[in-house]
Structure 1
Amino acid sequence: MLFHYDGAVDGWGDLPWSRRAVHVAAVDQTKWWFGKRFLHPDLVADYDYIFLWDEDIEVDGFDPMRYLRIVRKEGLEISQPALDHRSQIHHRLTARARRGGTVHRRFYKTAGGGRCYGNSTGPPCTGWVEMMVPVFSRAAWRCAWRMIQNDLVFAWGLDFKLGYCAQGDRSSNVGIVDSEYVLHRGIPTLGDGGGKGPAPKAKASSATSADRYAVRLRSYKELQIFNKRWNEAVAEDMCWTDPYP
């Protein structure tokens, strides 16, 4: 299934698999908006795993079947392929381990801010994946889908809560697959002027910067809303015990 936020559905026609794919178009939306509406857990229940990926990912050396064999063997309910070191990397946990290996589940940082030690129990030190290339088991997706908010299109904050969907210990059931890795190109696709066509050259740079600032501002606001709703839900449910207090 291919989600189109720019309306350019025909632009994928040269790819041999395009005619076999389901194409869904809604201008200026994000994959989490699409996923909430078109990947209901009951509709995708025939699939063992859900790949919910961005489009700026190079997969030339990636083998999905090998990847899934590793995920099953390692018992990963939520995972992602490691990011090649040429990628735009935001968190070191998701970078491909330089020592090699098949999977890693944590990283260590003993200096500076945001330190991670061997006894760290939560994200982004362990039990965490980034949002550009997550892979969910059927059970994990049913849980994660319920966390996605209908009105919050950027899903900021969701990544730090996905460990609750790991069907057990997030430090064991969430991991990064090093032996099957991808390249994240980090191409900005939001905040391009709202899809209204090319701006005059003199205005293009300032308009794009303003639009991207607006996207980031809304993302931060959505993060605050998401966290507020989470805290309110926790306070209201007297029967729930937080496994990660």
Structure 2
Amino acid sequence: WFRQGRDRYFVPVAVKIPGADIELARSGGAESAKLDFLGEIRDARGGLQGSVRDEVTIRLKGERMGQLASRSLQYDTGFTLPPGVYTLKFLARENESGKMGTFETKFSIPDLTAEQRRLPISSVVLSNQRQRLSDSVAVAERNKRLLAVNPLVVGNEKLAPSVTRVFRKDQEMFVFLEAYQPEARSNGYIVALVSFFRGKVKAFETAPLQIAEGPDERTRAVPVSFRVPLKSLAPGRYTLQVNVLNPADKKFAVWRSPMVLLP
């Protein structure tokens, strides 16, 4: 989630489908495949707070379709919600084969306006790739409208979140978050760094990143972005730690997550 206003937060949702499932329709001689996407978000009382229903047509011809079996297709959407506890349910169906997949999860959005002690930050996104929007094989009309408010989209590229948080040594890790300064001072700045721990031992730490750019006037957000080569790290399990500091207000935030690095 990412803050859009005082009491509104944007929640991006990404659904990945193995290209091999779409390949079945192609092998059957179909010139196109139709995918149905249905999603809903309900609050803690069961009230419907958001829904989406899209039908996406994928053309099964052309040079890019030759690599369909080895690729994943990604559908992106999003919801704007107030702080609270929610349940997301999503269904995807390929109409030619009838194959269907479902997903359900709970998540919460904190009220950052009530945060007084720590520096408010968004969700932290880890990724191993930036995708060109022009590479997408299926974009619904609703999704095009969401690009303008999705902070993971910059220019013609989109940061693809890693769900598994498993990376390889020959990859780079992209780290993205937003820090919020509702009462930011005109001369304030943000300092951030990323650390990798194996147990209690610090294996690597980036140089401190100082961001002098002021917050967005509407969201009061300061984007924080890292691009970290992983080739110098030994394979294994790590704890990734992100530290963000606002020296002027003497507030900070610390975020941690396990991750795995493969050879």
TM-score, normalising length: structure 1: 0.24
Higher share of residues assigned helix = 1
TM-score, normalising length: structure 2: 0.23
* Structure with greater Cα Rg: 2
Higher share of residues assigned strand = 2
